[in-house]
Amino acid sequence: MRTFQKALFHSGMILFCMIFVTGCWDKHELNDRAIIMGVGLDQGDDDSVIISMQIARPSGLGTNEQPENETGAFEYVESKGKNWMDAAQHSAFQISRYRFFGQRRVIFIGENLARHGLKNMLDEFSRDTQVRLRTDMVVIQGGEARDQLKKSRPFERVPVLSDIKLHTAIGGKSGDTTFRDFLIDVLSDGASPTLVSMNGNQVTGRAVFNSDLKLVGYLTMDEAINRLWITGGLKQYVYTFRVPQFNGLVSLQTSKFRRDITTKIVDNKAHINIALSAVADLQENDSSVNMYETHHLQTVQQAFNRYLQKSMTDMVKRTQEEYGIDVFQLGEVIHRQHPIQWRDMKNDWNRNGFQNAQITVNVYTTIKRAGLTTLPLQLNEGDQSNS
């Protein structure tokens, strides 16, 4: 009797729990999903907007053989609407599967839209539960995002993956966190947002936005790399420069980047000193310098530091004069070092404070290794021919 009662009790508990256990009533099977890998955003006519999508095609991904046509691994869809949600809804009329944005890796933004402003776009994207913070964002310099999504890429079946790897190769952060970092800069008083810029298959530099999130200009590729050093995001890079004393070019693989930024406030004006350091290894020597001669090595090292210091100083000065926008996150440094004075400066920092700040840059690099040969090969050949 007791055994029966226990069995009845346990059965009742199981039935009671099942009432409150939710099922997969809204599930979408994998083969019923359209996996969106990349999205393009463009400004249309009459204040309309255009959204384009690059969708992974499973049949084109499941084989190592080259597809018969260049779009064999992805599908392209484009739609227009009054705003982003309206345009996205219209895209559903062209796709037979449930649109899944959880694997979206990159968001392309056309230049025309970027100049109009990104506030409306950010409103929709910040509310969408499927938008991943680990997403890359790229401005198409001089072009439209939809054209970028239509193009195939060598080596990658899904083209947007090629653009992600290009960004990482020139110093982008692993994990593609541009969208998260962009939101942080937007909400920050001491930094202005920037995004990577591309044109076709090439990274061109960095797009600069003002406080209204409107595109105002670009940093060149060299300037974008130097900016990464100042902001602490650069890992390694090969610099090529001319050594006047030895009439030729030298290429140095540079790494172990460090930065030390000190600030002081005098009469409500910021004085900022940026000290940059790194170590370098010789990669190519097209000059007459013998890197194993101590005085030659010191000459090249001094020339490298002067070259970098001038490049950095020119970049900072141009940014102050042309844009007046702090793309180097220097306001955040002032905030940490002078929190009381920053309260009076923050509201005016990206209008006048940064533009009028006195900024000096000093670079200290050390050449550690010169390779296996003692002399450049062209000098060795010359010596042999004269003997």
Correct CATH for 235-387 of 3.50.50.60, 3.30.360.10, 3.30.300.210, 3.10.105.10 = 3.30.300.210
pLDDT of the residue at 66? 47
**Sign of dihedral through CA atoms 286, 287, 288, 291?**
negative
Q: What is the DSSP letter of 93?
A: G
pLDDT tens-digit readout, 312-357: 999 999 999 999 999 999 999 999 999 999 998 988 898 889 999 9
Work out the number of other CB atoms within 10 angstroms of the CB of residue 300.
23
For 38-42, 74-78, 258-262, 298-302, which range has the lowest pLDDT when averaged over its residues?
A: 74-78
Element (H, E) at 221: helix 221-231
The domain locations on the chain are 27-220, 235-387
The pTM is what?
0.81
For 162-166, 167-171, 219-223, 356-360, which range has the lowest pLDDT when averaged over its residues?
A: 167-171
Question: Over the chain, what is the mean pLDDT?
Answer: 81
CA 54 from chain centre, in angstroms, equals 20
pLDDT of the residue at 236? 87
pLDDT tens-digit readout, 180-192: 888 888 888 777 8
Are residues 301 and 365 in contact, defined by beta-carbon separation less than 8 angstroms?
A: yes
In angstroms, rounded to a whole number, what is the distance separating the alpha carbons of residues 339 and 353?
Answer: 15
In angstroms, rounded to a whole number, what is the distance separating the alpha carbons of residues 123 and 189?
Answer: 19
Find tokens 């900024």 and name the residue.
359
- The CA angle 323-230-352, to the nearest 5 degrees, is 30
- The β-bridge partners of 227 are none
pLDDT at residue 25 above 70?
Answer: no
Confidence of residue 110 (pLDDT cuts 50, 70, 90): very high
pLDDT at residue 123 above 50?
Answer: yes
**Residue 321 CA: distances (Å) to CA of 5, 278, 359:** 86, 28, 13
Find tokens 């649109």 and name the residue.
99
The more confidently predicted of residues 387 and 330 is: 330
Are residues 191 and 171 in contact, defined by beta-carbon separation less than 8 angstroms?
A: no
pLDDT of the residue at 152? 74
CA 102 from chain centre, in angstroms, equals 20
pLDDT tens-digit readout, 55-104: 877 655 555 444 444 556 778 888 888 887 888 787 777 776 666 666 67
The two tokens of residue 256 are 């172990």
Give the 3-state secondary structure percentages of the chain, helix then strand then coil, rounded to 5: 40, 30, 30
Average pLDDT over residues 127-152: 82
In angstroms, rounded to a whole number, what is the distance separating the alpha carbons of residues 317 and 319?
Answer: 5
Confidence of residue 31 (pLDDT cuts 50, 70, 90): low
Give the phi and the psi of residue 166 in degrees, each rounded to 5: -60, -45
Average pLDDT over residues 14-37: 60
Sequence-distant (6+) residues with CB within 8 A of 184 are 191
